[in-house]
Amino acid sequence: MPQPHLQTGLIVANYGRHFLVEDASGERRICHSRGKKSQGVVGDRVLWQASQDEGTIEKIEPRRNLFYRQDEVRTKSFAANLDQVLILIAAEPEFSSSQLSRALIAAEEQHITPIIALNKSDLTTPFARAWDWLAPYRQMGYDVIPLAMGKNTEADRATLLQRLTGKTTLVLGPSGAGKSTLINCLIPGALAQTGELSQALSSGKHTTTSTTWYWLDATKTTALLDSPGFQEFGLNHIDPAQLAAYMPDLKPHVAQCKFYNCSHLHEPGCGVMASVKSGSSPDAISANRYKIYSDLYAELKQIRRY
């Protein structure tokens, strides 16, 4: 019996158990996953088989990475095979330091480069306060960039393209940070097209529930992925014993700990706690960051008791 002809493709959007797959020629069509489980995510390279005007995904190729969050209820995958995550926050409304740190940890765990973008630089006083608050993140080596989306469009576009060109980048951010403005700045009309497609699929029944992939250039070397908003960012998949390794300000001090299995919470001879107490040292861990660590460690430890 002859084998069916399989084509290579890229998942560029997810509509429940329906996927939008782009083939090698750039054409896009709705495909369904084989079987009951819907395992694909945006960014997956797949092998699919055509069937009339639609198709069936037969195989998902191995992933380089998968950026996701996990809480007690479910696992939410954002995208696969990423180079970067652009975490967009704003001077107003005030952003959550815990949510920012959680997103950074999720990126570090999957070896994805994070970029932090602070929007609304036109709001002088709130921006200055937020920029100062981000000083520890700049000291850790994170790329932190100022933006004024919608106010300084051409300069912001140039700043972003400098970092995005040639890469696959997921844009992540809470509501109110300016994510839609950023997407429309880089790809005019993109969000309107996505809304029209959602309406075309069974009169809007299949609204997008995940990330959407956009090409920024005709040669298709630069991709921008728009993710859904989120209120919480669970890290239940992180081993608490590995947590410090995913926090660049804590990681160098772990080697100074007396005990190899130090939790960095109460043990004598802990290099991490010594750094927090040193305060004025250039590479000292800030009290705020240490609190984020200790709170998250306790949360993850509690989860593993059940």
pLDDT per residue as tens digits for the range 16-66: 778 999 999 999 999 998 876 678 999 999 999 998 888 999 999 999 999
Between 200-209, 267-276, 291-300, the lowest mean confidence (pLDDT) is in 200-209
Given a cut of 60, whether residue 121 has pLDDT beyond it is yes
Consult the annotation and say whether 81 binds a ligand: no
Q: Give the integer Cα–Cα distance in Å for 233 and 70.
A: 7
Residue 185 annotated as part of some ligand binding site: no
Is 173 annotated to bind a ligand? Reply is yes
Residue among 62, 66, 63 nearest 85 (CA): 66
* Whether residue 77 has pLDDT greater than 60: yes
* Rounded Cα gap, residues 127 and 26, in angstroms: 41
pLDDT of the residue at 1: 42
How do residues 191-245 score in pLDDT, each as one tens digit?
655 555 555 554 344 444 568 999 999 999 999 999 887 777 899 999 999 999 9
> What pLDDT is attached to residue 198?
55
User: Is 252 marked as binding a ligand?
Assistant: no
Domains of the chain: 7-60 (2.40.50.140), 66-226 (3.40.50.300), 240-303 (1.10.40.50)
pLDDT band at 2 (very low <50, low <70, confident <90, very high): very low
Indicate the pTM of the whole model.
0.90
Q: What is the DSSP string of 278-304?
A: H-SSTTPPPHHHHHHHHHHHHHHHHHT
**Segment holding 51, helix H or strand E:** strand 45-51
b/e burial code for range 128-158 (CB count within 10 A of at least 16 → b): eebeebbebbeebebebbbbbbeeeeeebee
262 labelled binding-site residue: yes
Q: Is 35 annotated as a binding residue?
A: no
Residue 206 annotated as binding site: no
Question: Which pLDDT does position 212 carry in this prediction?
Answer: 92
174 labeled binding residue: yes
Known binding residue 98? Answer is no
Six-digit token pair at 9?
């493709």
Q: How far apart are CA 120 and CA 117, in angstroms?
A: 10
CA distance 201 to 203: 6
Residue with the larger pLDDT of the pair 279 and 145: 145
The response to whether 236 counts as a known ligand-binding position is: no
Which residue would you say has higher pLDDT here, 34 or 85?
85
Query: Measured between alpha carbons, how far is 118 from 173 in angstroms, rounded to an integer?
Result: 10
The radius of gyration computed from the CA coordinates of the chain, to the nearest angstrom, equals: 21
Q: pLDDT, tens digit, for every residue of 125-182?
A: 999 999 999 999 999 999 999 999 888 889 999 999 999 999 999 999 888 888 888 9
DSSP-assigned letters across all residues of 153-170: HHHHHHHHHHHHTTSEEE
40 marked ligand binding residue? no
- Residue 153 assigned to a binding site: no
**Is 36 exposed, middle or buried, given 0-12, 13-18 or 19+ CB atoms closer than 10 A?**
exposed
Residue range 109-132: average pLDDT? 96
- Tokens 């309406």 found at: 199
Q: Phi, psi (5° rounding) for residue 55?
A: -160, 170
